[in-house]
């Protein structure tokens, strides 16, 4: 799609996000902030490609799926001749809604806090133990979210995916 190509290529800039993940992967945002780019090791890319058919069928069966949408898996050679592999996915934080706080939730408590931070800094991505609020949903919405999380967790389990951010 043209929007995808324009967001990642040509004169568009990619914005590097401050901290790499624990794996050492780098994260970038497209200039229009629609796409998140994550560098990955060759073995991770191979695993992702192997899982794509099952992932695609799940996305088709569950349009309200909460699992990140993947748009591309690429590799480019840098100036040193080394191949840099990366995946392009949707940026869930690209919205017209004003977000005051953002969370990277993994369903774990081990090391899952950013520690001391400015509670008014909307650029900080908080973790599980930093979630200090309850989210009220009406019963119908609650059941819909629970069913979707269960379906998504089941497919991730079937794929053997152990570490996934919600």
Q: Under CATH, to which class is 2-96 assigned? A: alpha beta
Q: For residue 30, is pLDDT > 90?
A: no
Asked if residues 31 and 7 have their Cβ atoms less than 8 Å apart, the reply is: yes
Mean per-residue pLDDT, 135-154? 95
Q: Which ranges in the chain belong to alpha helices (H)?
A: 2-8, 42-61, 139-159
**How does 87-107 read in b/e, with b if 16+ C-beta sit within 10 Å?**
bbbebeeeeeeeeeeebeeee
Q: Which of 2-16, 90-104, 128-142 has the lowest mean pLDDT?
A: 2-16
**Neighbouring-strand partners of residue 39:** 86
The rounded Cα 145 to chain-centroid distance in angstroms is 18
**Distances from the Cα of 68 to the Cα of 17, 56, 58, 93, angstroms:** 18, 11, 12, 11
| pLDDT bracket for residue 22 (50, 70, 90) | low
Alpha-carbon span 59 to 148, nearest angstrom: 11
The predicted structure's pLDDT at residue 133: 85
Annotated domain spans of the chain:
2-96
Highest mean pLDDT among 93-97, 98-102, 103-107, 148-152: 148-152
| pLDDT bracket for residue 24 (50, 70, 90) | confident
Q: For residue 137, is pLDDT > 90?
A: yes
Mean per-residue pLDDT, 63-77? 93
Alpha-carbon span 146 to 64, nearest angstrom: 12
Which stretch of DSSP H or E encloses residue 85? strand 83-90
pLDDT higher for 118 or 20? 118
């Amino acid at each position: 799609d043209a929007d995808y190509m324009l967001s990642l290529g040509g004169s568009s800039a990619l914005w590097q996000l401050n901290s790499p993940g624990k794996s050492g992967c780098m994260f970038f945002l497209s200039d229009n902030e629609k796409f998140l780019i994550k560098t990955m090791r060759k073995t991770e890319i191979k695993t992702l490609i192997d899982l794509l058919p099952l992932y695609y069928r799940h996305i088709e069966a569950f349009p309200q799926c909460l699992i990140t949408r993947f748009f591309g898996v690429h590799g480019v050679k840098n100036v040193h001749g080394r191949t840099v592999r990366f995946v392009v996915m949707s940026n869930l934080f690209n919205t017209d809604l004003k977000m005051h706080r953002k969370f990277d939730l993994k369903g774990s408590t081990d090391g899952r806090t950013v520690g001391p931070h400015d509670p008014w800094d909307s650029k900080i991505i908080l973790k599980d133990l930093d979630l200090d609020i309850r989210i009220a949903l009406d019963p119908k919405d609650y059941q819909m979210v629970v069913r979707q999380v269960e379906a998504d967790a089941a497919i991730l389990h079937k794929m053997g995916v152990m570490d996934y951010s919600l």
